[in-house]
Amino acid sequence: MRAPLSPLQFVRRAVGVYGDRVAVVDGPGRFTYAEFKDRCGRLALALRELGLGRGDRVAILSPNTWRALEVYTAAPLAGCVLVPLNTRLREADYEYILRHSGTRLLLVDPGFGEVAHALADRIDGVQVVELTDGGSEALLDQVPSAAAARIWHEVDDLDEASAITLNYTSGTTANPKGVILTHRNTALNVLNLVVHGRLRLDDVYLHVLPMFHVNGWGAVWAVSAAGARHVCLAKVDPPEVFRLIDQEGVTVAFSAPTVLVMLLNDPAARGWRPRQELRWYVGGAPPPAALIARAEDELGIEVVHVYGLTETGPWLTVCEWRREWDALPLEERAARKARQGVGQLLCGEVAVVREDLSPVARDGREVGEIVVRGPTVMDGYYRDPEATAEAFAGGWFHTGDLAVVHPDGYLQIVDRKKDIIISGGENISSVEVEAVLYRHPAVMEAAVVGTPDPKWGEVPKAYVVLRPGAQATAEELIAFCREQLAHFKAPKAVEFLQELPKTATGKIQKFLLRSAARAEPT
């Protein structure tokens, strides 16, 4: 009576129950769940006819489009392992990933066609198919629907411990690592998302978050599992985001905090409010409390903070809201929402531990590392046993994030291990300093890193982007921080930038800022 766990099961169920409902919207295009099932099945068989079989790697390089969404179901349905590619990498990065993963087929949006064909010319055994009418569509059209219907029965025979995706983490100081996520990992992550994302049949999900970012945090399958509606968005453009929310009745979206910054500071936000309740899940970087307060106050949306890593499936914790907090003032509510929260239902055991793996005190002060052991954690790093062994030292997956545990059991990250600033023997949390800077009315974005100092070893330096039309001096911002922090934590220097360096998923690239700060004369 045992059946394998896979997100493909959830997609198949949605097709059977909600076949006549609209599943996918992309511009004027609309597809029902029945049409979605048929197209995914035919594309899966088309991949088979190209000679691809169980375990073969299929990469995708595309923004959020309806054709890309279909690939996330069709490739694993064909028995292949999907390799999502970040659309903002360098050509050398793509070459490394394609070679390391052993990719045999690259499905590519026509906007990336030139780079894809150049890569295929250099890498033996890689075939390119463009996601166009004359490319993937032509292959799909050669497969009859009756044959496509039969392939869905193979879901019952798959190995839930086999890989479904190979997601490459962003490389900063070294080559990216390939995170092996299995059918079981991702199925349980989908269930976490349905429960803690409160997904319902009548939800309309806007794909603001790139699908390549850990499979859109799992939304590529979870939205279908709920029978809800996908709305594709190829590029984050604030006026278009607001338009789609209104036109399509969007009720839920995921993004990095920086997307909220973009929305809040766009002229289209002035006077705008959603016509329906809108839940916005933020993750990928700790959102400052001031940003959450602004989003809820100025945009009228509900902000929910979730935390995880590619290696954890990725959903790991959620800041579950308690009704008794409703009466708190806005700033206090936002401060609670900025916490990473509690472990999700199916993630296993999440803890904050000392170096000997004993738990830290639940006092909101003692700092330890977040570790986890549970069924959504990755199967390992592909072709990297040393890194896998290091990550799982002591029987736990080590996140590298430092946190405290509050008396109510809620976790709160204070920093990444590599981002802690050690000044005169004192640890300074860059996240804490950034949170204060975000409270200044002129600050749109801020990042704090350590810069060398001949006396203290290193001291905090802030990189700041001001809001449009706002003005502030370095001295003013330093004084503002000194009013709210111990003086040694306040930035000793402030540099103003037009924009902060970010990854394609909105994470601020602090390693670039650290390099710049350390290159300056002391």
pLDDT digits (tens, 9 = 90+) for 317-373: 999 999 999 999 999 999 999 999 999 999 999 999 999 999 999 999 999 999 999
The CATH code of domain 349-417 reads: 2.30.38.10
SS3 459: strand
Number of H helices, E strands in the chain: 17, 25
Residue 396 has pLDDT above 80, yes or no: yes
> Mutual orientation of helices 257-264 and 238-248 as an angle, nearest 10°?
90
Residue % of the chain over a pLDDT of 70 = 98
> Mutual orientation of helices 474-484 and 430-438 as an angle, nearest 10°?
110
Q: Per the structure block, which two tokens stand in for 260?
A: 């909220």
Average pLDDT over residues 406-417: 93
CA-wise closest residue to 37 among 48, 47, 24, 28: 24
Q: Per the structure block, which two tokens stand in for 261?
A: 């910054």
- pLDDT score of 174: 67
Spell out the domain ranges in the chain.
Answer: 7-18+31-181, 349-417, 420-519
What CATH architecture does domain 7-18+31-181 belong to? 3-Layer(aba) Sandwich (3.40)
Give the single-character DSSP code of 310: G
What CATH class has 420-519?
alpha beta
Average pLDDT over residues 473-478: 97
Average pLDDT over residues 286-315: 95
Residue 236 has pLDDT above 80, yes or no: yes
What is the DSSP track for 89-105? --HHHHHHHHHHHTEEE
Phi-psi region of 231 (alpha: psi -120 to 50; beta: other; left: phi over 0): beta
Average pLDDT over residues 199-227: 97
Instruction: State how far the Cα of 69 lies from the Cα of 72, in Å rounded to an integer.
Output: 6
SS3 267: helix
Residue 171: pLDDT band with limits 50, 70, 90: low
- Classify each residue of 181-207 as buried b or exposed e, where b means 16 or more C-beta atoms within 10 Å of its C-beta: bbbbbbbbbbbbbbebbebeeebbbbb
